[in-house]
């Protein structure tokens, strides 16, 4: 007797077990008949759930979770009371050991299914020593529209004002902000500043920025912390400069954190966006920067310069680059997408010459300054577009060809022309640093097609409680 084909329609309720995490707030499971289902909700692999189908596609279903019928053994109670509403920590409901397993599988699956690599030898993920309070940079947004939690919808009287919020944007909402007391990824001193600035703004009646009308004074609060030197940067982003307000806030912050080395800045912008950078910068107190140490190198970090957000794991990541690259004192190494030169300078201690290449002029200036700060004379920094091979050839003509190239591209991966430029330089080894396994797999497939084999894949967990993973992969040229 022929088995009757089961068809599903929008609105059907199904029960299934979650198999794998996916991107954003989705997980993957299968119906009892084996059809794939992308399920939206804060779920964990191993959860058995009921879900409502909201879209039927030819090869899979899309559904929204209704209820967890049986919890996964990997589930834990999130420490954050606003977990699930704030878009930052998407995996806080999963044990840290399980997070590391899932991230390992994410890298492995991408290399196999997207890159076409057969049985890639992905090493166990190097865990972070601090799964919480590890971020050295946090950006809070201010809004005149506070995101209301479901529990608040039923309250006749709210304990917090509706028209002021300082925290993180609700996922997918450019206007509403979730008012936070504590971010469990931020340093304790950062959370103290958050509390002081919020209280000061409410007491002083400072108008929060309105993303729709582009009115209001207080826009962002950006904080940086130097773990090695215990220095704190407070950068208040506003729509105009008010010296009196800044001096009052300075007094409040210094009173609340009397033993904290601190610099306070006011970035001012009139741009109609919510990005926490200014067109003008005013120094309120301190030196205007913090200094962080990686290995035996110091890096001066200004308000708008790039620096890895997890200081302790950044050292681990950079040590892995040196290790898998097999860098020797005789090598010339190119560092593509060098930014402010942190990797270039870290490599320079181990090789004959390190050459950093970056298209952003301000980053190159910061890189040169950091080289001078550390008295490293075997570094060179170029502002160049990696997509233009001939211009690169001309600029690099006076220097030795690289035996090793390190590339740390943005999350979107390497532009095809930039990838082509790198491969035309024909290094013996390519060390590819990636925060996106899918793009590592895509670019890795092209690198392999051009005569290289993948020899090492080392994931490093820079971002606990999130679904992001950093990976250091090494490709060797085949003779």
Question: Which residues are known to be catalytic?
Answer: 435
Report the alpha-carbon distance of residue 17 to residue 190 in Å, rounded.
39
Q: Specify the residue for token string 């609700």.
A: 170
Question: Which among 217, 213, 224 has a CA at the least distance from the CA of 202?
Answer: 217
Both tokens of residue 302?
């200004």
Report the alpha-carbon distance of residue 457 to residue 439 in Å, rounded.
14
Chain centroid offset of residue 57 CA: 32
Report the alpha-carbon distance of residue 403 to residue 10 in Å, rounded.
57
Report the alpha-carbon distance of residue 177 to residue 374 in Å, rounded.
41
Both tokens of residue 35?
């059809």
Please state whether 381 falls in left (phi above 0), alpha (psi between -120 and 50) or beta: beta
DSSP H helical ranges for 210-341? 243-256, 311-325
Report the alpha-carbon distance of residue 167 to residue 221 in Å, rounded.
9
Rg (CA), the chain: 25
- Which stretches does DSSP call E strand in 245-390? 261-268, 280-285, 290-294, 297-301, 332-336, 353-358, 379-383
Q: What are phi and psi of 162, to 5 degrees?
A: -75, -25
Q: What are phi and psi of 16, to 5 degrees?
A: -160, 165
Q: Specify the residue for token string 């958050």.
A: 194
Question: Which among 6, 7, 8, 42 has a CA at the least distance from the CA of 22?
Answer: 42
Three-state SS annotation for 222-250 = EEEEECCCCEEEEEEEECCCCHHHHHHHH
CB burial of residue 441 (10 Å; 0-12, 13-18, 19+): buried
Contact (Cβ atoms closer than 8 angstroms) between residue 301 and residue 309:
no
Report the alpha-carbon distance of residue 12 to residue 8 in Å, rounded.
7
């Amino acid at each position: 007797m022929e088995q009757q084909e089961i068809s599903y329609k929008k609105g059907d309720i199904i029960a299934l077990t979650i198999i794998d995490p996916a991107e954003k707030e989705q997980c993957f499971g299968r119906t009892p008949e084996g059809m794939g289902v992308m399920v939206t909700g804060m779920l964990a692999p191993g959860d058995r759930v009921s879900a409502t189908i909201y879209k039927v596609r030819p090869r899979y279903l899309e559904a929204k979770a209704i209820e967890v019928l049986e919890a996964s053994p990997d589930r834990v109670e999130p420490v954050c009371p606003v977990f699930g509403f704030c878009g930052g920590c998407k995996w806080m409901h999963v044990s840290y050991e399980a997070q590391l397993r899932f991230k390992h599988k994410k890298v492995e699956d991408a290399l196999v299914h997207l890159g076409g690599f057969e049985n890639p030898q992905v090493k166990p993920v190097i865990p972070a020593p601090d799964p919480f309070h590890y971020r050295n940079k946090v950006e809070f947004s201010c809004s005149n529209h506070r995101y209301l939690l479901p529990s608040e919808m039923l309250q006749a009287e709210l304990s917090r004002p509706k028209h002021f919020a300082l925290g993180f944007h609700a996922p997918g909402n450019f206007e509403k902000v979730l008012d936070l007391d504590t971010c469990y990824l931020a340093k304790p001193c950062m959370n103290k500043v958050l509390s002081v600035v919020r209280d000061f703004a409410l007491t002083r009646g400072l108008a929060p920025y309105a993303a729709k009308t582009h009115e209001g004074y207080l826009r962002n609060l950006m904080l940086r912390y130097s773990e090695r030197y215990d220095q704190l940067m407070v950068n208040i982003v506003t729509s105009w400069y008010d010296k009196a307000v800044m001096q009052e806030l300075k007094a409040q912050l210094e009173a609340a954190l009397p033993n904290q080395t601190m610099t306070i800045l006011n970035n001012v912008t009139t741009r109609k966006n919510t990005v926490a950078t200014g067109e003008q910068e005013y120094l309120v107190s301190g030196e205007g920067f913090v200094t962080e140490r990686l290995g035996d190198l110091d890096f001066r970090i200004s308000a708008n310069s790039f620096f890895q957000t997890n200081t302790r794991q950044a050292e681990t990541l950079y040590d892995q680059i040196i290790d898998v690259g097999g860098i020797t004192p005789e090598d010339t190494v190119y560092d593509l997408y060098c930014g402010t030169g942190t990797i270039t300078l870290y490599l320079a201690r181990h090789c004959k010459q390190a050459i950093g290449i970056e298209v952003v002029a301000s980053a190159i200036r910061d890189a040169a300054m950091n080289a001078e700060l550390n008295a490293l004379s075997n570094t060179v920094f170029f502002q160049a577009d990696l997509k233009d091979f001939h211009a690169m050839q001309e600029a690099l003509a006076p220097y030795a060809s690289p035996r090793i190239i390190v590339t740390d591209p943005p999350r979107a991966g390497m532009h095809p022309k930039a990838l082509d430029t790198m491969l035309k330089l024909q290094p013996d080894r390519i060390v590819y640093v990636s925060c996106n396994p899918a793009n590592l797999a895509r670019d890795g497939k092209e690198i392999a097609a051009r005569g290289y084999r993948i020899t090492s894949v080392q994931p490093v967990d820079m971002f606990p409680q999130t679904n992001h993973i950093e990976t250091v992969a090494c490709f060797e040229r085949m003779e």
